[in-house]
Amino acid sequence: MGSPRRLRMKRVKTGVEPLDFLLPEGVPLNSFITLSGEGGTGKSVILQQLAISFLKRGFSVIYVASDDSPLSIMLNMKNFGWHVDRYGKRGRFRFVDCFSFRIKRSLEYPEYVTVVEQPSFLRNITDVLDSVMDKLRGRKVMLIDSLTDIISHAEPMTAIETVKAWRANYTKAQNTLVFTSFHFGIKAFDEIEQIIDYIVDGIIDLRFDPYLMQQGVLVKQMRIRKMKGTSHLTKWVYFQITKDGLKLIDKATVMKLVS
């Protein structure tokens, strides 16, 4: 049996302002968390901010990219002043690239990018993840953008079993915090969505304020729908994406955006 010390729940701050506000005690390290919301609500920017925030605090980070190429992700991050290249060169940051298999000409990527051939066979992604996990030292965070794209090519049961296996092996057995973006809402995937919601430890909902959207104004909001092992606020809060990343905004500021 493990000692009581080993059983103590370790929690960490995310370094993303609205998330830390909603999760005053932090997130448990052994969590598999989804960021759920439609396009443009900020899922990718959040994952990018999580990457730099954990790298700065000494974690190793694996970024699984399927919606965009590693180079465009790094360019986007550079806009915010988030430079991951230096961490890649030091062996603390790795891209698992599930995007570039489509590109026909040969690419010159830095050594911290591993391109997955035929990622529609989820086994191929798992094999790369296993070897990258082995190479990285210390406490680890895995960011997956997007889980929807990655599992949408597989049979539903294979997809579900793969998510369960990643959560069991990486999150639980190796204590790796996992954040994934998730954007179903397509009818064919209704059932998968419900099962994933049930499997994961945490769900962060993102949306545009529905009332303001009716007036033609898009203001981003987030809330915690589910987070095992810690207390959290349950209300929707407003946030903006600024050059320094996500910032909470108050009602008065929202009103100024509307007027």
Q: How far is CA 103 from the centre of its chain?
A: 24
Q: Look at residue 40 and give the partner it binds from ligand ADP, Mg ion, none, a contact being a CB closer than 5 to 8 Å depending on partner kind.
A: ligand ADP
- Which segments of 102-209 does DSSP mark as H helices, in order? 122-135, 147-152, 156-166, 190-199
Query: Of 14, 44, 49, 100, which one interacts with Mg ion (CB under 5 A)?
Result: 44
Query: Of 19, 29, 31, 43, which one interacts with ligand ADP (CB under 6 A)?
Result: 43
Q: From residue 208, give the alpha-carbon distance in Å to each of 14, 40, 48.
A: 22, 9, 20
- Select the span of 36-44, 94-102, 204-212, 227-235 touching Mg ion (CB under 5 A): 36-44
Which amino acid makes up residue 192?
I
Whichever of 30 and 48 has its CB closer to Mg ion, that residue is 48
User: If binding is defined by CB under 6 A, does position 40 make contact with ligand ADP?
Assistant: yes
User: If binding is defined by CB under 6 A, does position 72 make contact with ligand ADP?
Assistant: no
Least distance between Mg ion and beta carbon 54 (Å): 19
- What gap in Å lies between CA 180 and CA 44, rounded to an integer? 9
Coil/strand/helix, residue 244: coil
Which amino acid makes up residue 223?
R
Coil/strand/helix, residue 86: helix
- Select the span of 12-20, 44-52, 116-124, 132-140 touching Mg ion (CB under 5 A): 44-52
User: If binding is defined by CB under 6 A, does position 42 make contact with ligand ADP?
Assistant: yes
Length in residues, the chain = 259
Least distance between ligand ADP and beta carbon 174 (Å): 26
# of chain residues touching ligand ADP (CB under 6 A): 11
- What gap in Å lies between CA 179 and CA 112, rounded to an integer? 20
Q: Look at residue 212 and give the partner it binds from ligand ADP, Mg ion, none, a contact being a CB closer than 5 to 8 Å depending on partner kind.
A: none
For 144, phi and psi rounded to 5 degrees? Answer: -120, 115
**Binding stretches for Mg ion (CB under 5 A):** 43-44
**Binding stretches for ligand ADP (CB under 6 A):** 37, 39-45, 79, 181, 241
